[in-house]
Amino acid sequence: MSEDTRRIGALEAGGTKMVMAVCTPSGEVIEREEIPTEGPVETMARVGEWFAARDIDALGVGAFGPTGVNPAAPTFGHILETPKTAWKHFDMLGALKEHVDVPVGYDTDVNVACLGEQVYGCAQGRDSVVYITIGTGIGAGVMIGGKLVHGMLHPEAGHVLLAKRDNDPGESACPYHDRCFEGLAAGPAIEKRWGAKGYELAERDEVWDLESDYIAEALVGYVMTYSPQKIILGGGVMKQAQLFPLVREKFAKMINGYIVAPELEDLDSYISEAGCGGDQGILGCVALALQAQ
């Protein structure tokens, strides 16, 4: 078989930075560059020009949300209602297509990361996977039966409501909800509650006890509703590796034996860190671009 020499463009379009890469179809990164996310017109012009100069055969985009992911809708590829007002209703995909004339795949950043783990990372061989990032916000990408879940818009599983703990001394950091997962457990929630950033609180057991409680409760909800074969936890907050055993222990207690499946017999593997070492977003873009061709 001859070598596959296609050059695949990958764009992780984040709220704070744009990560552009050119990769091989097997997921090797040939070139990568990051620029800050500023105004939409100038930022997307820079991104588009970067790809236009690199002779790519297809492009995959993982965008911050909420964003239009239904190819049949007029809002496909647009940023929707966002607190980043300059980006509200901006046609991101249209702006890219002014510069690149190749097949483009487009989905949310978290769905794309989920796909990256399923094709290149620790969820290979599974077709139902939930990928959660716990960072500045909380988002979840969901694949069921090999398809990334969209629906009305796309899942917003970071905003599921949880039971606020009596021993929680904090207030929700979400402007919309007083007890959603993101409002109670994302990086800014930790900082608001304890008055210091997560990485400064590593030694404070009560911080991670409460944090793991909320994470475990959210995971139980995802397992009951989506029935994934694997759950992957990423994002800055999960760099606190002590969270993993705490989450698994609390998750098992909350499930309380109700679900019996081989996957749940090995929670170390069932609830795991990302296998792509931070490149799950970029590699998911590659997989998406290959599907778009």
Binding-site ranges for ligand ADP (CB under 6 A): 14, 16, 135-136, 187-188, 197-199, 235-237, 239-240
Residue 274: which of ligand ADP, Zn ion, none does it interact with, CB under 5 to 8 A by kind?
Answer: none
CA 245 to chain centre: 21
Output the smallest distance, CB 177 to ligand ADP, in A: 18
Nearest CB to Zn ion, comparing residues 93 and 184: 184
Say how far apart CA 232 and CA 275 lie, in whole Å. Answer: 9
Residue 176: which of ligand ADP, Zn ion, none does it interact with, CB under 5 to 8 A by kind?
Answer: Zn ion
104 scored as a contact of Zn ion (CB under 5 A): no
Output the smallest distance, CB 292 to ligand ADP, in A: 24
Tell whether omega for the bond before 103 is within 30 degrees of 0, i.e. cis.
no
CA 243 to chain centre: 18
- Nearest position to ligand ADP, beta carbon: 187
The residue with tokens 């809708």 is: 73
Residue 40: which of Zn ion, ligand ADP, none does it interact with, CB under 5 to 8 A by kind?
Answer: none
Enumerate the β-bridge partners of residue 106.
Answer: 61
Nearest CB to ligand ADP, comparing residues 120 and 194: 194
Q: Buried b vs exposed e over 19-51: b needs ≥16 C-beta within 10 Å?
A: bbbbbebebeeeeeeeeebeebeebbebbbebb
Q: Are 234 and 132 in contact (CB under 8 A)?
A: yes
Nearest CB to Zn ion, comparing residues 13 and 174: 174
Tell me if residue 219 falls in helix, strand or coil.
helix
177 scored as a contact of Zn ion (CB under 5 A): yes
Q: Are 51 and 11 in contact (CB under 8 A)?
A: yes
Nearest CA to 186 out of 251, 140, 128 is that of 140
Output the smallest distance, CB 136 to ligand ADP, in A: 3
Residue 237: which of Zn ion, ligand ADP, none does it interact with, CB under 5 to 8 A by kind?
Answer: ligand ADP
Residue 161 tokens, joined: 């409501």
178 scored as a contact of Zn ion (CB under 5 A): no
Say how far apart CA 46 and CA 40 lie, in whole Å. Answer: 10
Output the smallest distance, CB 1 to ligand ADP, in A: 38
199 scored as a contact of Zn ion (CB under 5 A): no
Residue 159: which of ligand ADP, Zn ion, none does it interact with, CB under 5 to 8 A by kind?
Answer: Zn ion
**Interface positions, 145-164, toward Zn ion (CB under 5 A):** 159
Binding site for Zn ion (CB under 5 A): 159, 174, 176-177, 180, 182-183
